[in-house]
Amino acid sequence: MPSSTSSSNIVERDIPNKSWGKLFVVMVILFIVLIAAWEMYWRSEGAKPDYLNSDSLWAIERRKVQENSVVFTGSSRVLFNMQTDIWQQQTGIKPIQLALEGTTPIGVLEDLADDDNFKGTVFAGVAPGLFFSGFEYRQNALKAYQKEAPSQWLGQQLSMLIEPFFAFIEPDFALFTVLKRQSWPTREQIKIELDVRALALMSADRNTQMWDKVVKDEQYRKLAIKIWMQGFEPIDKKTPEKIAKMRENRDKQIARAVAVNKKMLAKGATLIFVRMPSQGFYTMKEGMYNPKETNWDVLLKETGAPGIHFQDYPDLNKYTLPEDSHLAAEDAKSFTKDFVAIYQSMNDEADYGTLSAQ
């Protein structure tokens, strides 16, 4: 009986006599056409090439921090509103942008406080819902700085070579992301949460500005506000246990901030808290969950750190926020100039150690 592996059982097939070289060329041309068509579509929607807001890009900026650096950290409001190029024009100092969207700055502040080489000035944004909850959507950015693998570093360097030329590589424009957010039939009991859409354009140094589509496109702007509002529940609907847990968590975050500022002061660094503007829905929500007198005021009192709250300065409170939370690009430039003037006034009136360090 012949073996199952016997050569007599092997069936030889002839390779079709095709022009494989031409077929490969056709496939490459088709691929290029499809990519070009996708790029043209997003360009027609107002999209522009920029740099991806990756963890490794954040790590690059974190590594730039030196002894007397000026650092911005916080959440997306600091990222959108504080323009590093305008700050440099006004002060002669190029600040480092370390703000992370959807993320409390406490982890970054703790890292800076533990960095013996840093003795400069850090402006920390306080977005109440994030800061006092300790929520860290982008916590992996700090991990990338601390333990980035060589392959991750190389991937970032290669990615940055092509990012300035293509708009479609923005994650929000990916084909499967677009397909996911279509109005597919769903069961009535299933509630679909909308993902945050593309809102900003980022430079290689993480200087960030609001995408002008948010300003010019009313429907897109309304969508952004709708996304901010989803999941909101009035505080009187919360159980006493949940409210107590929220307050306990708030106290923990303030205690972390107190520890941070003690370390900053001990090494001659300066920490300044900043409350960026918010309007509309956020005015209501933040006033309900994080009243200024029980959160911001307590934060400054307990830490002893100086702070700049937009409600205390008419020049910071004069702007309209397209989607209630961030400044439009041109307003962010003006806002930064106004902020610099207030900062310099503070520096003239009191000695905050390294406020003007360079």
Digit-coded pLDDT (tens) for 4-61 = 555 556 767 766 676 878 888 999 999 999 999 999 999 999 999 999 999 999 999 9
Contact 286, 131 (CB under 8 A): no
CA–CA gap between residue 279 and residue 321 (Å, rounded) = 7
Digit-coded pLDDT (tens) for 222-270 = 999 999 999 999 999 999 999 999 999 999 999 999 999 999 999 999 9
DSSP-derived secondary structure letter, 8: G
Given a cut of 90, whether residue 307 has pLDDT beyond it is: yes
Specify the pTM. Answer: 0.89
353 falls in which pLDDT band (50, 70, 90)?
A: very low
Digit-coded pLDDT (tens) for 179-219 = 988 888 777 777 788 999 999 999 999 999 999 999 999 99
DSSP string covering 266-298 = HHT-EEEEEE----THHHHHHHHHS-TTTTHHH
User: How many other CB atoms are there within 10 angstroms of residue 335's CB atom?
Assistant: 24
CA–CA gap between residue 170 and residue 49 (Å, rounded) = 8
Per cent of the chain over pLDDT 90 is 85
Please report the pLDDT score of residue 190 as a whole number: 72
CA–CA gap between residue 340 and residue 132 (Å, rounded) = 26
What number is the average pLDDT over the span 307-324?
97
Q: What is the largest CA-CA distance in the chain?
A: 101
All structural domains of the chain with their residue ranges: 51-180+196-349
CA–CA gap between residue 182 and residue 189 (Å, rounded) = 18
**Number of alpha carbons in the 13 Å side-chain half-sphere of residue 98:** 30
- Residues 173-202 as b or e (16 or more Cβ within 10 Å = b): beeeeeeeeeeeeeeeeeeeeeeeebbbbb
Which amino acid is it at 12? E
Class of domain 51-180+196-349: alpha beta
User: Which two three-digit tokens encode residue 357?
Assistant: 């360090």
Please report the pLDDT score of residue 347 as a whole number: 78
Contact 232, 266 (CB under 8 A): no
